[in-house]
């Protein structure tokens, strides 16, 4: 290998390595992504009973948060218009319009991946004003209650204040009159609001959150908890039980702040419920949402930003060079004979629509019929182009007949034969006939079998979804394929099948 070639090969391998390392280390990509992942499916359903002609319903809707990605959204309503409205850190599904005298059902369904994402960092909150019900007296009471804990670091201070939900005030306890005043405050405003007051007075920004626990369940109400900022992250406590979740990933927040989870104008919502269940989520959609949410300029040029209808085509075409590399390997190193160079790739693409079994059967059947037709018209002594045109017409007639048969018997695979590369089939029929005439029937069938084997292997590669996802996420891998194609192009050794083909000659030379 000369120096210029070595430099070229090094560049073709170095560039993908650097780009992939940047994506994985800096942008948090998955090095070897799988095509499916375990997630959660959340369904909300309810029935709107109108009191007026016009009705407006707002229901808490999951939003993208640090550690939470929402994908595969679906909304239901027979007559009301739907829209997604942002409100602070939240999103609300809003249905509005005329519901009619009999009411109308509403609902949504989403898939959620609950995991940390490097692009969505926890942000330190801005100081928030005290609620309107907090006066000087309530604030001074809270200051006296937390005074002993102000010397603690934020994390220990959070746990000390969270313990008050279970009546744990430490030693020594605050005066009895302060404890009595605290009990009255809890009765008047609720444990959640009172706990938020303690956190804020103690210098820990806090907020009210409503949502669900991530477990299989059907619920007609949401769970409430309080989050407090401890300097680096939000930590949670459930005021109703005093439990501090060890892993906040087990909670699914729907509403953050003082917003109602369900708000209705012009009617009432009855029978509302949330259903949470495990779901298998496509990693294609997950990465699509993840990259679209990223503000990194490098992600702006990702293939995931292409329109969906073009993505489906690119995810197949991006593996075609890999199929071409495979054909080169099987022809130049293994020695498998094929009809043409890229015919197996085109056949493999067609097999994705017809299915492998039907595709091979159709390929064999049309080649056989075309061969018989080609032998039958040989006596006409037609010129090359008119002869190929006639064979092309016969191929099209066969495809149309098969499509009609498939429609008659409800077989979609036969109706998909129109996607077979009929021009390539025409050239293959002519090539098959010439090989049979010049080298015999055996050689013709060996070439047809070699083409079928290569097409099947190429089909398995093109149809391997994890491989599609890897190349779609890291298109720079095509440079690695190009490097392998260059190396293969420099190969001048024996083909493996030649050792079998010339085995008698080798035995003679050894003697």
- The Cα 442–Cα 440 span in angstroms is 6
369 domain-assigned: yes
Residue ranges making up the domain that contains 412: 312-510
Relative orientation angle of helices 422-439 and 441-462, to the nearest 10 degrees: 150
362 domain-assigned: yes
- The Cα 126–Cα 205 span in angstroms is 8
**Res 187 pLDDT > 60:** yes
Least confident of 146-150, 253-257, 426-430, 478-482: 426-430
**Res 500 pLDDT > 60:** yes
Confidence grade of residue 211 (pLDDT, cut at 50, 70, 90): very high
Answer for the pair 353, 459: CB distance below 8 angstroms, yes or no.
Answer: no
* Residue among 394, 422, 419, 417 nearest 407 (CA): 417
**Res 119 pLDDT > 60:** no
**Res 301 pLDDT > 60:** yes
What residues contact 87, with CB distance under 8 A and at least 6 apart? 259
29 domain-assigned: no
What mean pLDDT do residues 190-210 have? 91
pTM of the prediction? 0.56
| Percent of the chain residues past pLDDT 90, beyond the cut | 17
Please count the structural domains in the chain: 1
468 domain-assigned: yes
Tens digits of per-residue pLDDT, 234-244?
Answer: 899 988 888 88
- Cα-based angle 302, 306, 312 (whole degrees, multiple of 5): 110
212 domain-assigned: no
What mean pLDDT do residues 423-451 have? 86
pLDDT at 316: 80
pLDDT at 145: 92
What mean pLDDT do residues 319-327 have? 87
Cis peptide before 371 (omega within 30 of 0): no
Confidence grade of residue 320 (pLDDT, cut at 50, 70, 90): confident
Tens digits of per-residue pLDDT, 367-411?
Answer: 888 888 888 888 888 888 888 898 889 888 888 888 888 888 777
Please state, in angstroms and as integers, the Cα–Cα distance from residue 175 to each residue in 184, 193, 381, following that order: 15, 22, 114
Element (H, E) at 356: helix 356-376
316 domain-assigned: yes
49 domain-assigned: no
477 domain-assigned: yes
Q: What is the DSSP letter of 344?
A: H
Structure tokens at 392: 């092309």
């Amino acid at each position: 290998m000369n120096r210029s070639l070595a430099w070229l090969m090094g560049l073709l391998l170095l560039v993908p390595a650097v780009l992939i390392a940047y994506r994985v280390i800096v942008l948090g990509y998955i090095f070897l992504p799988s095509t499916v992942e375990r997630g959660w499916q959340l369904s909300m359903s309810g029935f709107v009973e109108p009191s007026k002609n016009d009705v407006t319903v707002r229901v808490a809707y999951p939003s993208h948060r640090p550690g939470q990605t929402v994908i595969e959204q679906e909304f239901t309503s027979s007559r009301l218009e739907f829209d997604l409205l942002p409100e602070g850190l939240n999103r609300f599904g809003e249905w509005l319009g005329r519901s009619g005298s009999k009411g109308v059902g509403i609902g949504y369904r989403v898939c959620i991946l609950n995991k940390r994402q490097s692009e969505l960092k926890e942000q330190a909150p801005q100081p928030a004003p005290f609620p309107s019900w907090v006066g000087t007296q309530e604030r001074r009471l809270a200051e006296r209650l937390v005074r002993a804990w102000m010397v603690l670091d934020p994390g220990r201070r959070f746990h000390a204040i969270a313990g008050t939900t279970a009546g744990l005030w430490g030693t020594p306890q605050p005066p009895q009159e302060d404890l009595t005043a605290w009990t009255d405050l809890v009765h008047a405003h609720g444990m959640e609001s009172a706990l938020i007051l303690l956190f804020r007075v103690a210098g820990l920004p806090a907020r009210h959150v409503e949502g669900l626990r991530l477990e299989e369940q059907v619920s007609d109400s949401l769970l409430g908890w309080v989050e407090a900022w401890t300097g680096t992250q939000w930590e949670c406590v459930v005021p109703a039980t005093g439990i501090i979740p060890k892993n906040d990933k087990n909670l699914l927040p729907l509403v953050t702040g003082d917003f109602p989870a369900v708000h209705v104008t012009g009617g009432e919502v009855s029978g509302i419920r949330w259903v949470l269940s495990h779901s298998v989520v496509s990693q294609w959609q997950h990465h699509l949402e993840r990259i679209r949410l990223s503000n990194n300029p490098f992600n702006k040029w990702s293939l995931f930003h292409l329109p969906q209808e073009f993505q489906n085509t690119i995810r197949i075409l991006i593996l075609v060079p890999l199929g071409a590399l495979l054909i080169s390997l099987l022809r130049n190193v293994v020695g498998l004979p094929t009809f043409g160079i890229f015919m197996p790739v085109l056949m493999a693409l067609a097999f994705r629509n017809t299915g492998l079994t039907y595709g091979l059967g159709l390929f064999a059947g049309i080649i056989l019929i075309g061969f018989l037709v080609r032998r039958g018209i040989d006596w006409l002594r037609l010129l090359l182009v008119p002869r190929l045109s006639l064979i092309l017409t016969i191929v099209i007639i066969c495809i149309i007949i098969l499509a009609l048969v498939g429609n008659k018997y409800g077989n979609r695979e036969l109706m998909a034969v129109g996607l077979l590369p009929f021009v390539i089939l025409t050239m293959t029929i002519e090539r098959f006939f010439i090989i049979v005439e010049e080298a015999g029937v055996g050689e013709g069938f060996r070439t047809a079998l070699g083409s079928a084997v290569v097409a099947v292997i190429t089909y398995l590669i093109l149809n391997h979804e994890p491989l599609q996802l890897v190349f779609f996420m890291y298109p720079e891998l095509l440079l690695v394929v190009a490097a392998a194609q260059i190396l293969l192009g420099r190969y001048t050794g024996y083909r493996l099948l030649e050792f079998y083909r010339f085995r008698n000659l080798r035995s003679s030379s050894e003697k």
